[in-house]
Amino acid sequence: MATKEQLLQKERAKTLGELFVAECRADEPNFDTLRTMCVNGADVCYRHATALHWAAKLNNFSLVSFLIDNGVLREPVSRSIIANMCNNKGFNEELEPRFFEVLDDVRRVSGSADIDIFVPYINSMAVLGRLDKLRALMKRYFLTEAEVARSVFIRIIFEVILHAHDEMLEFINKHVEWQNQTALDLAVSGGDWVVLEYLLKSGKVGATPSDNAVGQAVFTGSTEVLDILLHCGYSFNRNPQFLKKACRAAFNDGGRMLEYMLNHGYNALDRYDNRTLRENAMLDGNAAALAVLDAINA
């Protein structure tokens, strides 16, 4: 059982923490007040670095640097909060010099020169097609092209393709072998038909996505993706689980996907879960699926 002194210390720490966060949220935080709080035991990491969350959200780089110098990097999430400031509302090109100064503070205090602190910025510039910005980053921090290219997430590569940033895509492809089964499944399951076309035309992957990926495409009604796969020789193989996905999708799409399936190799007599389409639709109260089946019989 906690002693009275321990309870008082706990309450004091909470009060100081709340006051510290409140000051950091102010329009113009008083750094002398914050220093006094730190001297008197305020925890800059209070509630998983709540003060840092607000400082970053408000693009207050001076306050972020203050928190870094006073130990906020002890909180594991702090590096991620700081690294992602480049994605905050209101962040723009004019703020980049101050952003990099803060990243320099992180590297100085932590003693780490890992590339992870730059990854959010790298991906932000990649999706915008700003290869010039990435080259400037490489020059400033002595990073290699391969290090930077390998830091681009596969979903960001998809965005690069969708936005036709050809120079950026060429840069990535020069250093990263990302066109594989994983990329194919992500494109299919996410309904990214432009990316799917790119992957298939590259010749590095075939039209053989996993059943899980195709099932997701069926459920979300990604008919463009399915059209491309079918055109490239893919077969649904009368898979009852695909039919089940299409029927369940009818609750949201009014039976559009079920109609598509019935027009591409399936028929009203097919079964899943050991029941007919109509039996499943009646059991589920699936009026949209029943309407599709009634229209076929009409």
Residue 188 resides in a domain? no
pLDDT digits (tens, 9 = 90+) for 2-60: 677 776 777 888 999 999 999 999 989 999 999 999 999 999 999 999 999 999 999 99
pLDDT digits (tens, 9 = 90+) for 256-284: 999 999 999 899 999 999 999 999 999 99
Please check the confidence at residue 62 and state whether its pLDDT lies above 60: yes
Q: How confident is the model at residue 298 (pLDDT cuts 50, 70, 90)?
A: low
Domain assignment of residue 66, given as a range: 13-83
Please check the confidence at residue 209 and state whether its pLDDT lies above 80: yes
Residue 20 resides in a domain? yes
Sign of CA dihedral 93, 95, 101, 102: negative
Cα torsion for 9, 11, 17, 20, to the nearest 10°?
-100
Q: Considering its fold, how many domains does the chain have in total?
A: 1
Contact partners, residue 143, CB within 8 Å, separation at least 6 = 115, 118, 137
Residue 46 resides in a domain? yes
User: Half-sphere exposure of 163 toward its Cβ, with a 13 Å CA cutoff?
Assistant: 16
Q: How confident is the model at residue 1 (pLDDT cuts 50, 70, 90)?
A: low
Which residue in the block uniquely carries the two structure tokens 């006051």? Answer: 19
pLDDT digits (tens, 9 = 90+) for 128-182: 999 999 999 999 999 999 999 999 999 999 999 999 999 999 999 999 999 999 9
pLDDT digits (tens, 9 = 90+) for 213-249: 999 999 999 999 999 999 999 998 789 999 999 999 9
Residue 54 resides in a domain? yes
pLDDT digits (tens, 9 = 90+) for 111-130: 988 999 999 999 999 999 99
How much is the mean pLDDT over the chain? 94
Residue 28 resides in a domain? yes
Residue 26 resides in a domain? yes
Residue 143 resides in a domain? no
pLDDT score, position 297: 74
**In contact, 123 and 148? CB cutoff 8 Å:** no
Residue 290 resides in a domain? no
Residue 10 carries which side chain, given as an amino acid letter?
K
- What the block records as the tokens of 74 is 């002890």
Angle 167-173-177 (CA atoms, 0-180°, nearest 5)?
165
Which residue in the block uniquely carries the two structure tokens 């029927």? Answer: 247
pLDDT digits (tens, 9 = 90+) for 77-88: 999 999 999 999
Predicted TM-score (pTM) above 0.85? yes
